[in-house]
């Protein structure tokens, strides 16, 4: 129990912060209400500090938890800046002008920020997960608040019914996805007789992966691929990203995706990358094939659909699909020899960080621009024409972030993409390498097209009529993202080392599993006990 609490301090802090934020957001006094975002930021900072000190855990991926929690807190802090003014904008203005009194039923600020924190708590819990039930609950905790946040975000900017429609679509399809992976989890339990990853890994190591386990794992992976927006569960992405307000879209591109990839890494590492006669270690044939197919289709579909877009949000949504495809490649490549260039898992974790930071910047620029307070945000590429001339800071942020998403050297995106390529190379997966390279080239077309619009086109009358949103923290988030993209490319060595440590994979030994299982059965809390004993063994 105590060992479990030792790894859960960030989540506990997040939960406490969430409760406070929920209540503070409903305060009848405007100056107290205004502190909601600040409190959310403080909560994330505290959680991040706690995550930095979190101990290592036993299991196939001992280092991942701390890294993911830190990453979540860090990107969360940038998101807090970006979320300012997403909800209650008209309401708060009316109150400030004295046209109406505060009505708690109409205010959604407290809910919005607490849902935001709940969702990030879910991401952190995913990283702490040691068994299937925990993982399921954590995934749902990540997703459920996002459904509501999408619908809520329409209120502030009058996206019309689009936000509501997006929320409903997201909810129903998300429920379907959850059903699929829950079914997969059930089959996994049926096949192995345990819900705990450690025991499952021992079981697979001892007895191999049977057909039922394969089916279960496959359903679980396909179901979770809803969270990362991978084929065939990607259909919602564009509609939902476009329907939600830009800050929420930025959030959607980060939180569920991170949770999804963490889950995939946990699930897949329970099976493990097995040596295949003479070749680099790979996942069992059918799982490998399925992931290969999903990855190839995901990047291709995402990129070709993005080619045809004029809506920037839809373009970023499709590119988000494509990026999921890129990251799946790292999962397929496997841990290699553990070095940063060879370890696909580290590559995925580092890519999550790079993508989270970069994509946030692109959405932040959209969030900074609006036609007017009533008709809502800018979305069409034509509205961004000549942005570098009219608003240099935003324009350059957009250009830098897009180039980084493209993987343009020497920006952060490039350094995130290189290890994906090298890990594939190390694993000898040349076909996938070719597909990845071709897709990167296709992506260059639409990213550079948008960069051209932003940097080279002359501002049109239409794009000049766009004005800035009155929230100071949004451009701050945008600039923070662009600076991070540039600076981390030079100074990101520490993060690379951290992600390399986080991506270390330890193959479960055949003998250990049964002993751990027998021991676990006797204790009050098997998982914590199994972890505790292993951790203790390390300490000894």
Instruction: Give the footprint of other proteins on residues 228-257 (CB under 8 A).
Output: 231-233, 235-236, 238-239
Residue of 323, 397, 412 whose CA lies nearest to 367: 397
How is 89-130 classified by DSSP, letter by letter? HHHHHHHHTTSS---TTT--HHHHHHHHHHHHHHHHHHHH--
Subset of residues 334 to 353 that bind other proteins, contact rule: CB under 8 A:
339-341
Question: Among 84, 294, 315, 328, which residue sits at the site for other proteins (rule: CB under 8 A)?
Answer: 294
With binding defined as CB under 8 A, does residue 1 bind other proteins? yes
CA distance 369 to 357: 19
Q: Judged by CB under 8 A, does residue 192 bind other proteins?
A: yes
Contact set for other proteins, span 520-539 (CB under 8 A): 524
Shortest Å distance, C-beta 520 to other proteins: 12
The stretch near other proteins (CB under 8 A) out of 42-50, 135-143, 190-198, 260-268 is: 190-198
Residue 169, interface with other proteins (CB under 8 A)?
Answer: yes
Least separation in angstroms between CB 215 and other proteins: 7
Residue 102 Cβ, how far from other proteins at the closest point, in Å? 10
Of the pair 60, 426, the CB lying nearest other proteins is at 426
The DSSP code for 377 is: E
Q: Which helix (H) or strand (E) holds 428?
A: none
Give min distance, CB of 248 to other proteins, in A: 19
Query: Which range in 226-234, 249-257, 448-456, 457-465 contacts other proteins by CB under 8 A?
Result: 226-234
Does 502 help bind other proteins (rule: CB under 8 A)?
no
Q: 196 φ, ψ to 5°?
A: -90, 135
Residue 382 interacting with other proteins (CB under 8 A): no
At closest approach, how far in Å is the CB of 7 from other proteins?
A: 17
- Choose one: 89-97, 135-143, 148-156, 290-298; the region binding other proteins (CB under 8 A): 290-298
Q: Angle formed by the axes of helices 109-128 and 64-83, to 10°? A: 170
Is the separation of the CB atoms in 135 and 126 below 8 Å?
A: yes
> In sequence order, what DSSP letters do the residues of 205-237 get, joined into one string?
HHH---HHHHHHHHHHHHHHHHHHT-TTS-THH
501 conformational bin, left if phi > 0, alpha if psi -120 to 50, beta if neither: alpha
DSSP-derived secondary structure letter, 468: E
Residue 373: in which H helix or E strand, if any?
Answer: none
Mask: binding to other proteins, 46-85, rule CB under 8 A, as x and -? ----------------------------------------
Among 30, 32, 176, 472, binds other proteins (CB under 8 A): 176
Query: Which residue has tokens 């697979």?
Result: 204
Q: Which of 57, 151, 191, 282 binds other proteins (CB under 8 A)?
A: 191
Q: What is the DSSP letter of 369?
A: E
372 vs 514, beta carbon nearer other proteins: 514
**Cβ 469 to other proteins shortest distance, Å:** 19
Q: What angle do CA 295, 379, 308 make, to 5 degrees?
A: 45
**Given phi > 0 = left and psi -120 to 50 = alpha, else beta, which region is 193?**
left
Q: Return the structure tokens found at 418.
A: 């290189």
* CA distance linking residue 412 with residue 395, whole number of Å: 18
Site for other proteins contains 515 (CB under 8 A): no
Residue 177 binds other proteins, judged by CB under 8 A:
yes
Q: Considering the rule CB under 8 A, would residue 286 count as an interface residue with other proteins?
A: yes
Does the N-terminal peptide bond of residue 465 adopt cis geometry, omega within 30 degrees of 0?
no
**Among 142, 300, 358, 359, which residue interacts with other proteins (rule: CB under 8 A)?**
300
Determine if 276 is a binding residue for other proteins (CB under 8 A). Answer: no
Is residue 161 involved in binding other proteins (CB under 8 A)?
A: no
Could you say which of 434, 437, 456, 490 contacts other proteins (CB under 8 A)? 490
Which residue bears the tokens 């490998």? 288
Instruction: List beta partners, residue 467.
Output: 370
Among residue numbers 310 through 339, which ones bind other proteins (CB under 8 A)? 339
The answer to whether residue 456 forms part of the interface with other proteins (CB under 8 A) is no
Tokens of 129: 């997960």
Taking the complex as a whole, the smallest distance from the CB of residue 410 to other proteins amounts, in Å, to 5
Contact track, other proteins, 421-440, x by CB under 8 A: -x------------------
From 46, 94, 425, 496, residue interacting with other proteins (rule: CB under 8 A)? 496
With contacts defined by CB under 8 A, name the span among 49-57, 135-143, 151-159, 407-415 that binds other proteins: 407-415
**CA nearest neighbour of 192 among 182, 183, 178, 202:** 202
Q: Which helix (H) or strand (E) holds 292?
A: helix 285-307
The answer to the question of residue 219 lying near other proteins (CB under 8 A) is: yes
User: Contacts with other proteins in 94-133 (CB under 8 A)?
Assistant: 103-105, 110
- CA dist., res. 331 & res. 364, Å (int): 29
Q: Is 180 a residue that touches other proteins (CB under 8 A)?
A: yes
Q: Are 129 and 260 in contact (CB under 8 A)?
A: no
Helix axes 211-228, 162-192, angle to 10 degrees: 160
Q: Is 404 in the site for other proteins (CB under 8 A)?
A: no
């Amino acid at each position: 129990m105590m060992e479990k609490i030792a790894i859960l301090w960030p989540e506990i802090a997040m939960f406490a912060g969430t409760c406070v934020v929920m209540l503070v957001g409903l305060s009848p006094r405007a100056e107290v209400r205004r502190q909601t975002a600040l409190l959310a930021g403080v909560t994330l900072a505290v959680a991040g500090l706690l995550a930095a000190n979190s101990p290592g855990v036993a299991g196939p991926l001992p280092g991942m938890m701390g890294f993911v929690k830190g990453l979540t807190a860090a990107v969360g802090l940038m998101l807090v800046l970006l979320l300012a003014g997403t909800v209650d904008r008209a309401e708060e203005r009316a109150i400030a002008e004295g046209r109406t009194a505060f009505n708690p039923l109409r205010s959604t600020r407290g809910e919005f920020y607490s849902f935001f924190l709940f969702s990030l708590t879910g991401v952190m819990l995913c990283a702490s997960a040691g068994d299937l039930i925990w993982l399921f609950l954590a995934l749902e905790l990540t997703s459920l608040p996002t459904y509501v946040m999408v619908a809520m975000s329409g209120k502030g900017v009058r996206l019309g019914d689009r936000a509501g429609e997006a929320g409903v679509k997201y909810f129903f399809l998300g429920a379907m996805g959850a059903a699929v992976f829950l079914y997969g989890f059930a089959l996994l339990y049926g096949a192995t007789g345990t819900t705990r990853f450690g025991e499952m890994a021992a079981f697979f190591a001892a007895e191999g992966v049977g057909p039922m386990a394969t089916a279960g794992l496959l359903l679980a992976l396909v179901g979770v691929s809803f969270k990362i927006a991978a084929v065939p569960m990607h259909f919602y992405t564009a509609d939902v990203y476009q329907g939600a307000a830009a800050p929420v879209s930025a959030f959607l591109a980060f939180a569920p995706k991170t949770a999804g990839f963490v889950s995939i890494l946990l699930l897949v590492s329970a099976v493990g990358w097995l040596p295949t006669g003479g070749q680099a270690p790979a996942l069992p044939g059918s799982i490998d094939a399925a992931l290969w197919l999903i990855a190839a289709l995901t990047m291709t579909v995402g990129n070709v659909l993005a080619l045809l877009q004029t809506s920037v949000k839809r373009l970023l949504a499709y590119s988000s699909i494509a990026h999921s495809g890129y990251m799946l490649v790292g999962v397929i490549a496997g841990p290699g020899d553990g070095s940063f260039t060879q370890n696909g898992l580290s590559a995925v974790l580092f890519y999550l960080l790079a993508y989270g930071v970069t994509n946030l910047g692109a959405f932040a620029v959209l969030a900074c621009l609006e036609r007017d307070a009533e008709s809502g945000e800018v979305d069409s590429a034509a509205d961004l024409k000549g942005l570098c001339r009219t608003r240099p800071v935003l324009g350059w942020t957009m250009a830098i972030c897009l180039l980084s998403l493209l993987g343009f050297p020497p920006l952060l995106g490039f350094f995130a993409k290189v290890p994906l390529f090298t890990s594939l190379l190390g694993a000898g997966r040349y076909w996938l390498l070719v597909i990845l390279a071709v897709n990167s080239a296709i992506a260059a077309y639409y990213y550079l097209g948008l960069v051209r619009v932003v940097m080279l086109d002359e501002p049109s009358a239409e794009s000049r009529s766009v004005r800035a949103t009155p929230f100071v923290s949004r451009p701050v988030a945008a600039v923070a993202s662009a600076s991070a993209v540039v600076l981390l490319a030079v100074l990101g060595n520490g993060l690379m080392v951290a992600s390399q440590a986080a991506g270390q994979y330890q193959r479960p030994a055949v003998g250990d599993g049964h002993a751990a299982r027998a021991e676990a059965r006797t204790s009050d809390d098997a998982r914590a006990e199994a972890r505790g004993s292993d951790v203790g063994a390390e300490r000894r």
